[in-house]
Structure 1
Amino acid sequence: MTPMPAEAPAAAGGPQSLPFSDAASCKLWLEQVLHSSVTDCHGALFHAVGQLPRSPLRPAVKLESLELMRETVALVQFEHARRCRGKPVPLDAGERAVWESVVALWQAMAAAYESLIADMAGAAPELAGAAPLVCQRALRYTGLAMAEHGRAYHAVTGALWRQLHRLYVFAESAGIATTEVGDAVGRFEPATSCAATYVRALLAQQAQPDALTLQQMGCVEHWLDRWERLVEVSPQPPPASAIPALAVDLTSSKGIGFAKDMPATGVRHLHLEALARTLRHAAVALKQGRTPAELGLGDLPADACEKLLLLLNIQWCAAGTGRLDERTPSGIRVMIFPSIRSIHYHLTGRPFRQPGGAGQGEPVTLTQRSEAMETWLVVNRSVSGFLGLSRDPRTATRVSHSQLLGLQAPATKNLYLGIVQRLVVDEDGGIWAGMRLVPGIPQPAAARVADIATADPDAVKFDRALLLPEDSPRRIPTSIILQPGWYQVNRILDLHTGPAQKIRLRMVLDAGPNFERAGYAVIGS
């Protein structure tokens, strides 16, 4: 479930509860509040921002105070949000409380700036000259609230979409949509406008954050600093093309869609030609040997950067036409095994034992048993993957992006492995996970680092591993799935599947928060 739009906190003790009375005292207060803990500082900022719209301060002082608070808000939000960004879903109670408070402060900032738009039409017509800046700030903080949903793998609410569209409609009607303003807070390129900030929010969501890692989301945010002004928002459609045109319905509760599906009025078309050229040129430059850093694309490895550019080109400029497999509806239920431990336990049917050891294996924990009992619904499937759904509020399985899962339909004996490629919690609390199937039937094994010199007895113990056969059609070698942190190129492992073997790890094929998958070669027994 997603938080309700933030409301300003109720005034405690009336206007005097605002901790400052003008811009100078606001600056002093901000210096003092930074000496408190992150949690206390966050609460103080939320209280002050929420009080501003109803305070008796002159609108010009409110605007100046909000501008002074922006750097501090950005810093505190970043530190506070570390506790919830990228965490497995469903969030636990503490993580959820932090996430809701982070979203609430972004929304409170947007509401405070939007309240100044109303002041311009009433008590403060002198603020009209600041209208482009005020509206851009309200759009920016609305976009940040939306982005915070993505970083926690939650769907953006319809209320946030309506707020974003409403603010852009005001900018258009006031004739200020393309007026340039400066915004250096949390950005590498300060020059922007209301239209560019609106485009930024649209494109950030069209990039499908449910399919991105936190690092990839950060790259997209960085790149949009430079690319947001390449897209024109217009009532007129772009030139005819083989690629379906994209547009946005300003009266809707959602983002970008196909122009052909839009109503006759209230639609704005996206002219993406300049952005498409930029993406193509960047991809070509990478293939020619230039580094991402040289192209202003950050410090991603070149291959990862190229893959992300391709994904963005598909989502932004090719109307999401990258899917190769036909998906068919399904309604089967599958058992979910969320860790190597639970997968191994299910495959062997017994507690893990050290190879060659005598006596009983490890005691089976309650967690292992419960992990082996949870069921999800497969909504649709293709040759390469599944879309799974869990609507049980009591779900014990917390799922991360890129996590390895075991899946088994009750009517079949074989267990399959999948890697979570898409992850989102909808507004009703349902967890949707798109999984890419790993070809082959996994086999249980035990592995340890060979010839390790240590006095720590635990370091020389075997641990659970999974083996996958060679996939010749896809040119994927025989591989082993290990606990995270085990892989090192050319590392030698003792492998036990019955007869003892030694293997040499050769390359990483996949990795996620709960596993590493590596190709290997047998070097002896």
Structure 2
Amino acid sequence: MDYRNPAECLDLLKRLNPVNVDETQKSLSDMVSGLLDGTAPSNQHLEVLEAARETITLVQAELAKRYASRSLPPDSIENATLKRVVALWRNLAESYAEITRRDATSGTLDDQRALLAQRRVHYKGLALLEYFRAHRAVPIGMWAELQESFSMAEAQGVADIRVADTLNQIWRAQSATEAFITFLLVDLSNPFGRGEREFNWICRWSQRFAPYCTLLGAKDADPAVKPTSYGIDLAADHGLRPIGVLNATSKTLRRFDGSRLAGQIQAVLGQLKQGVTPASLGLGSDCAAEASAKLLLSLYRPWGLASVGRRFPRRGGRGHVELTGDWLAIGFHVQGKLFEQPGGAPVTRSLRSDITLLTFGERADGRNLDDVELQRRREADKLGFVCGRWEIRDQSVGGFRLSQLQSPERLEHHQLVGLRPADGGHFLLGQISWLMFHDDGMLEAGINMLNGIPRVVAVRQVGMQATVRGAYQQAFSLPETPALKRPRSLVLPAGWFQPHRVIEIHDGEVKQVRLTTLLQRGANYDQVAYEAVTSST
């Protein structure tokens, strides 16, 4: 097969079977590379690329599913799959750029310059998206390549010309500017904190909402613009940043304006509230109304308004934390003993009570704090509850940015974790906000803390008949935090929350409570507010 021959390539496209994903992707990659290295006429080269677009998109999406569900370590077997997918996207972008260069003198494709520019930006951006999808740090230079592609479209005067694009599910057309903004919106969506489903929705919605955003040049600069507004320097190697931290005199500075998008998101949220289906609003037939509204609401500020200053400013951190994501292990480290069914053997003093006594200056059986800690570690080792050691990169009152070179524990987004800083006296609860691997194997994690010192409690659901009782399960109780306007809450196993559900708590005494509000839902837990059940209700 001569992959440099456009006629043979067109014949190959008719014979490919997308069901054989690996074989088909290899053939497509060889074809794109062969044409890129060959000397085919520009118009014939373009014809083959356009004919192959739909098949390439389908096959690439299937391959990407192999690494989209969890953060991809660089030593994973699917790391080679990521490289294959990225290589094809990048070669496609370079192919459209090469056609533009070859045709510069003949002018045969002058009427296709806008299409060539849009395709180049589109495929450069798709290569970058794969690193978001795999929760991998974007390699140095990839943002610069994307921005160079957009700058070329601007220089040619074709950046704002819409061209047909049947792969754009909503508009069926797109300009180079809209393609560029699509990837800026994905970058603003906290992509390293999204699971596979949410990330796919965000990529689709970014295309849907990109036309409502604008990039303003230096000549359009508004002196009254807030420093928290977003901007981008096309000569830099990163995405949008608060404009206050960028060089205001740079000729390659562009200001991002999403004010029209803010109004559009409000309108969509209003229609969802009225019962209009997500599919009819261009969000997708696979989108549930409640989940769509929740995700759109989280995107409203970064997409439509401006960056948000941190509620709790971060500061550089030193030291380390112990961290575990195992539910029973969290309970063990919080209370100093393994969770047991209430009403069994007499309750013995736990390691946690020993530590608490020592903290307040009393001695426990003649032991010092180091002895108690040593005992805790020995017990944890016996039970398989050893915590991972994570280095603190920076921290705030609200959370931590941590790193670990080798993670023995598989973690997922929005999972409940227990952690204790080296200088802390208590294990606390947190939620994984985002995860990202570096090429050297370093894993970074953002942790949002759940306020308050937790206590382990036993909970069980109350059946329809008062005599029906199941086994107790481990849960956590968190105190009220008036300063943050956070009510007392329970952290229950995932799926327990139903409005007005009554459950039984054993916390030294047995009582029934009614669940009132879902405060936060994670991958493996529900954090809920509750109220006591009185005899009069």
Match of 2:301 among 297, 313, 319: 313
Cα 1:469–1:19 change in 2 (3 A) is farther
Tell me which residue corresponds to 1:224: 206
**Which of residues 223, 241, 246 is equivalent to 1:257?**
241
Cα distance change, pair 144–182 in 1 and its aligned pair in 2 (3 A): same
Secondary structure (helix, strand or coil) at the match of 1:325 reads: coil
Distance 2:498 2:392 in 1: 36
Alignment partner of 1:179 out of 139, 161, 164: 161
Report if the CA contact (8 A) 1:21-1:57 is conserved: no
Alpha-carbon shift at residue 340 of structure 1 (Å): 1.7
1:95 is displaced (CA, Å) by: 4.1
| 2:357 paired residue number | none
Amino acid at match of 1:331: R
Aligned AA (2:517): M
Contact 1:90 1:399 in 2 (8 A): no
Output the amino acid matched with 1:254.
H
The amino acid of 2:488's aligned partner reads T
The alpha carbon displacement at 1:255 in A equals 2.1
Matches within 5 A, 1:101-250: 101-121=84-104, 125-229=107-211, 230-244=213-227, 246-250=230-234
Query: Hey, what does 1:345 align to over in structure 2?
Result: 332
Tell me, yes or no, if structure 1 residue 514 matches structure 2 residue 528.
no
Q: How far apart, in 2, do the equivalents of 1:118 and 1:86 lie?
A: 39
Per-residue deviation, 1:139 = 0.9
1:505 aligns with 2:491: no
Q: Map Cα deviations across residues 464-486 of structure 1 (whole Å, 9 max, x no partner).
A: 22222234455544332233234
Measure how far apart 1:344 and its partner are.
Answer: 0.9
Deviates more, 1:399-408 or 1:231-240: 231-240
TM-score of the pair, normalised by structure 1: 0.81
User: Match for residue 432 of structure 1?
Assistant: 444
The answer to whether the Cα contact below 8 Å between 2:113 and 2:158 also exists between their aligned partners in 1 is yes
Seen in structure 2, the aligned counterparts of structure 1 residues 285 and 193 have a Cα distance that, compared at 3 Å, is closer
1:102-139 Cα shifts (integer Å, max 9, x gaps): 333322322332332232247x7523432221221121
In structure 2, the residue matched to 1:470 is 480
1:324 alignment counterpart: 311
Q: Partner residue of 1:28?
A: 14
* Residue 349 of structure 2: aligned partner: none
Equivalent residue number for residue 403 of structure 2:
390
Shift of 1:42: 3.2
Matched residue pairs, number?
495
| Equivalence for 1:269 | 254
Do the aligned partners of residues 178 and 286 (structure 1) sit closer, same or farther apart at CA in structure 2, a change above 3 Å counting? closer
AA matched with 1:276? S
User: Which residue is equivalent to 1:442?
Assistant: 454
Change in 2 beyond 3 A, CA 1:91/1:366: farther
* Cα shift at 1:510: 1.4
Distance 1:304 1:68, change over 3 A: closer
Task: Decide whether the 8 Å contact of 2:513 with 2:531 is kept in 1.
Answer: yes
* C-alpha distance in 2 between matches for 1:308 and 1:325: 24
CA contact (8 A) 2:262 2:305 kept: no
Residues 94-103 or 283-292, more deviating: 283-292
* Contact 2:392 2:403 survives alignment (8 Å): no
- 2: CA distance, partners of 1:57 / 1:301: 49
Residue number among 401, 408, 413 corresponding to 2:425 in the alignment:
413
Distance in 2 of aligned mates of 1:302 and 1:450: 27
Q: Is 2:389 aligned against 1:375? A: yes
How far, CA to CA, are the matches of 1:462 and 1:41 in structure 2?
A: 53
Distance 1:487 1:47, change over 3 A: farther
Superposed counterparts of 1:65-84, under 5 Å: 65-84=48-67
- Which SS does the other structure have where 1:84 is aligned? coil
Q: 1:353 to 1:91 in 2, by over 3 A?
A: farther
1:452–1:460 contact (8 Å) kept in structure 2: no
Q: Distance in 2 between matches of 1:375 and 1:231?
A: 45
Greater Cα radius of gyration, structure 1 or 2: 2
Comparing 345-354 with 287-296, greater Cα deviation is found at 287-296
- 1:303 Cα offset (Å): 8.9
SS of match in other structure, 2:520? strand
Question: How many Å apart are 1:408 and its aligned residue?
Answer: 0.6
Inter-CA distance 411–100: structure 2 relative to 1 (3 Å threshold): same
| 1:16–1:518 CA distance, 2 compared to 1 (3 A) | same
Root mean square deviation, CA, Å: 3.7
Match of 2:353 in 1: none
Cα distance in 2 for residues equivalent to 1:94 and 1:186: 32
Please give the alpha-carbon distance, in whole angstroms, between the structure 2 residues aligned to 1:500 and 1:44: 66
Contact 1:339-1:514 within 8 A present in 2 as well: no
Whether the 8 Å CA contact 1:189–1:226 is kept in 2: the answer is yes
Q: Residues 476 and 368 (structure 1 numbering): CA distance in 2 closer, same or farther, change over 3 Å?
A: farther
* 1:450 and 1:492 in contact (8 A); partners too: yes
Whole-Å separation in 2 of the counterparts to 1:259 and 1:447: 50
The separation in 1 between residues aligned to 2:152 and 2:114, in whole angstroms, is 10
- Matched with 1:483 is 493
Deviation at residue 213 of structure 1 after TM alignment = 4.8
- SS of the residue corresponding to residue 505 of structure 1 reads strand
Q: State the alpha-carbon separation in 2 of the partners of residues 406 and 237 from structure 1.
A: 49
Identity across aligned pairs (percent)?
26
Is the Cα contact below 8 Å between 2:431 and 2:449 reproduced in 1?
yes
